[in-house]
Amino acid sequence: MDRFDGIDRRILAILREHGRASHAHVAKQVGLSAPAVGERIRKLEQAGVILGYRAELAPDALGLPICAFVALAPRPGTIVAELVERLLALPEIEDLHSVAGTYSYFAKVRAASPEALDAFLDRLMMMEGVERTETTMVLRTSAERPVPLPFESEP
């Protein structure tokens, strides 16, 4: 991508792995001063490349070891914006994606137990605007990767 120079690319790679890295730490890695790194980071934030910073939490440690993917089809005639708003109010939903295909939405869901997941699915099916769902429970997660940087595969 010609939108970023090599230093921006290295800064993004460092921050993706270590979001709390200080400007001084990043500066040592990329060969710039801390103020220069701070300015580049500010520009990347203003351009909407860096959306924010957050802690990555361990679901198991929080008592949410069950993960499932729920495909959801809205009832015909449903105002989907209102349905999405209702879905996003459910704390069990970690991610929600509008998709093409048989179902209109895929949700990544976390629960404390299979029974809690079952209770959530019952509530979901009773929600206004939900026609049908299909659930796939995760048995093991092999990888959950951060967003790939488009230039990492470049020579």
Mean pLDDT of 71-99: 97
26/17 Cα distance (integer angstroms): 12
pLDDT band at 145 (very low <50, low <70, confident <90, very high): confident
b/e string for 121-145 if b means 16 or more Cβ within 10 A? beebeeeebbeebebeeeeeeeeee
122/43 Cα distance (integer angstroms): 46
Q: What is the pLDDT of residue 88?
A: 97
Do 118 and 72 share a structural domain? Answer: yes
Three-state SS for 70? strand
pLDDT band at 51 (very low <50, low <70, confident <90, very high): very high
Q: What is the pLDDT of residue 1?
A: 37
The better pLDDT of the pair 153, 65 is held by: 65
Residue 57 forms part of a structural domain: no
Closest CA to 72 of 137, 136, 131, 127: 131
Question: For 81, phi and psi rounded to 5 degrees?
Answer: -60, -40
Q: What is the pLDDT of residue 148?
A: 82
Residue 153 forms part of a structural domain: no
Cβ atoms within 10 Å, residue 151: 15
Do 28 and 78 share a structural domain? Answer: no
Residue 31, domain CATH: 1.10.10.10
Residue 111, domain CATH: 3.30.70.920
Domains identified in the chain, total number: 2
Residue 152 forms part of a structural domain: no
Mean pLDDT in the chain? 92
Return the half-sphere exposure (C-beta side, CA atoms, 13 A cut-off) of residue 97. Answer: 11
Q: What is the pLDDT of residue 154?
A: 54
Residue 53 forms part of a structural domain: no
Do 127 and 89 share a structural domain? Answer: yes
Do 72 and 41 share a structural domain? Answer: no
124/27 Cα distance (integer angstroms): 48
pLDDT band at 152 (very low <50, low <70, confident <90, very high): low
Torsion, CA 134, CA 138, CA 143, CA 147, rounded to 10: 30
Do 85 and 133 share a structural domain? Answer: yes
Do 75 and 118 share a structural domain? Answer: yes
Residue 97 forms part of a structural domain: yes
Do 83 and 27 share a structural domain? Answer: no
Residue range of the domain that includes 35: 6-46
Mean pLDDT of 65-75: 97
Mean pLDDT of 138-155: 79
Residue 70 forms part of a structural domain: yes
